[in-house]
């Protein structure tokens, strides 16, 4: 039925065949099954990616962590924009309405970090058409959050793109883009508020949108450690004043470990060995991320017969959907 690492009970890939299934797509982290061209079954596997490359070993409970954070955050923002979710029948599964995705990701940045800082350090003062003021240092807060869209690459790296280029190339109409930008700012404002309640700073994140019957929906995941960067609020100002690195809550620690081992996903570089101990460490860090973001104790779902559990719960949920 499927490949998985038995010793650590993690899902590396699924290969289900659901009733009325018309398509399946295996992404970097999620396996997405289309049912009757109307419903998507999104299974959050335990695969982990960095530098747009899937690492060779899955991480136990990572899929559950991401799926449960995303569903909570979608629920907490549904008054701003409707989202695609219909039900969450299993800790690793979300079922929702199929939408035609916009071919851009709406990235929004409240702070000069990550990609924005690398561009800034290289002398650039515009990013995707948004100005970045002179005199800033790494991890400083922008006067106002900036939207820096990117293309959605099927293979390889996403590319920066401006609002004007998006409209000129017909990726999104002007009317729809302005609505996406408005939703993005409102979602980021809500995400910032939710993060502050947990003693966190939402640094930057991305949102993806799609259309169903000419109506815009929020799709994919939001405010997870895979799609967002968080700082700990406590000590932020002092660390900035001293020029010290910020304490982050994201999967940045995985990228940092890879870089320490001379791996950035470039041609000719060798992936470092991911030992059982490293897998367990990453798993524990994801659970810590969940508990910090939600304020709740993480409850591990039963890890025996993972795929059978997922298949059973998903089948039961599909049967209850009125097509």
Query: Is 200 contained in some domain?
Result: yes
Q: Identify each DSSP E strand in 8-54 by its residue range.
A: 10-11, 21-26, 30-35, 39-44, 49-50, 53-54
Query: Is 153 contained in some domain?
Result: yes
Query: Is 73 contained in some domain?
Result: no
State the Cα torsion 250-253-259-264 to the nearest 10°. Answer: -30
Cα–chain center distance at 1: 27
Owning domain of residue 145: 101-249
The region, left, alpha or beta by phi > 0 then psi within -120 to 50, assigned to residue 85 is beta
What pLDDT score does 8 carry? Answer: 59
Radius of gyration in angstroms for the set of CA atoms belonging to the chain, rounded to a whole number: 20
- Tens of pLDDT, residue by residue, the chain (323 residues): 333 334 458 999 999 999 999 999 999 999 999 999 999 999 999 999 998 899 999 999 999 999 999 999 999 999 999 999 999 999 999 999 999 999 999 999 999 999 999 999 999 999 999 999 999 999 999 999 999 999 976 555 679 999 999 999 999 999 999 999 999 999 999 999 999 999 999 999 999 999 999 999 999 999 998 899 999 999 999 999 999 999 988 888 898 899 999 999 999 999 999 999 999 999 999 999 899 999 999 999 988 899 999 999 999 999 998 86
Query: Is 56 contained in some domain?
Result: no
Query: Is 70 contained in some domain?
Result: no
CATH number at residue 239: 3.30.470.20
Residue-level length of the chain = 323
What pLDDT score does 153 carry? Answer: 65
Cα–chain center distance at 261: 24
Taking the whole predicted model, whether its pTM rises above 0.95 is answered as: no
Domain total of the chain: 1
- CA-CA distance, 316 to 248, in Å (whole number)? 39
Alpha helices by DSSP H, listed for the chain, are 62-75, 114-121, 163-168, 174-197, 236-242, 252-260, 276-294, 306-319
Query: Is 242 contained in some domain?
Result: yes
Angle in degrees, CA 100, 193, 60, rounded to 5: 65
């Amino acid at each position: 039925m499927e490949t998985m690492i038995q010793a650590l009970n993690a899902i590396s890939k699924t290969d289900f065949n659901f009733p009325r299934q018309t398509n399946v797509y295996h992404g970097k982290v999620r396996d997405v099954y289309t049912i009757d061209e109307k419903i998507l079954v999104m299974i959050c596997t335990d695969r982990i990616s960095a530098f747009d490359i899937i690492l060779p070993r899955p991480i136990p409970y990572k899929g559950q962590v991401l799926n449960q954070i995303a569903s909570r955050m979608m629920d907490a923002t549904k008054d701003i924009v409707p989202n695609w979710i219909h039900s969450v029948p299993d800790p690793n599964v979300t079922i929702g309405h199929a939408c035609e995705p916009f071919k851009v990701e709406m990235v929004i940045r409240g702070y000069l970090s990550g990609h924005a800082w690398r561009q800034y350090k290289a002398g650039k003062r515009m990013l995707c058409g948004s100005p970045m003021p002179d005199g800033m240092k790494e991890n400083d807060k922008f006067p106002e959050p900036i939207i820096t869209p990117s293309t959605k690459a099927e293979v390889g790296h996403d590319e920066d793109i401006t609002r004007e280029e998006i409209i000129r190339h017909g990726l999104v109409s002007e009317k729809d883009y302005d609505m996406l930008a408005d939703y993005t700012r409102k979602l980021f404002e809500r995400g910032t508020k939710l993060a502050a309640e947990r003693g966190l700073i939402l640094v930057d994140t991305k949102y993806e949108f799609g259309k169903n019957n000419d109506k815009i929906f929020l799709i994919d995941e939001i405010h997870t450690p895979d799609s967002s960067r968080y700082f700990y609020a406590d000590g932020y100002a002092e660390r900035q004043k001293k020029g010290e690195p910020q304490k982050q809550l994201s999967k940045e620690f995985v990228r940092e470990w890879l870089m320490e081992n001379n791996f950035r996903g470039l041609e000719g570089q060798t992936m470092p060995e991911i030992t059982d101990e490293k897998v367990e460490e990453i798993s524990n860090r994801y659970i810590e991320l969940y508990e910090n973001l939600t304020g709740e104790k993480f409850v591990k779902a039963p890890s025996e017969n993972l795929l059978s559990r997922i298949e059973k719960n998903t089948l039961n949920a599909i049967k209850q959907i009125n097509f």
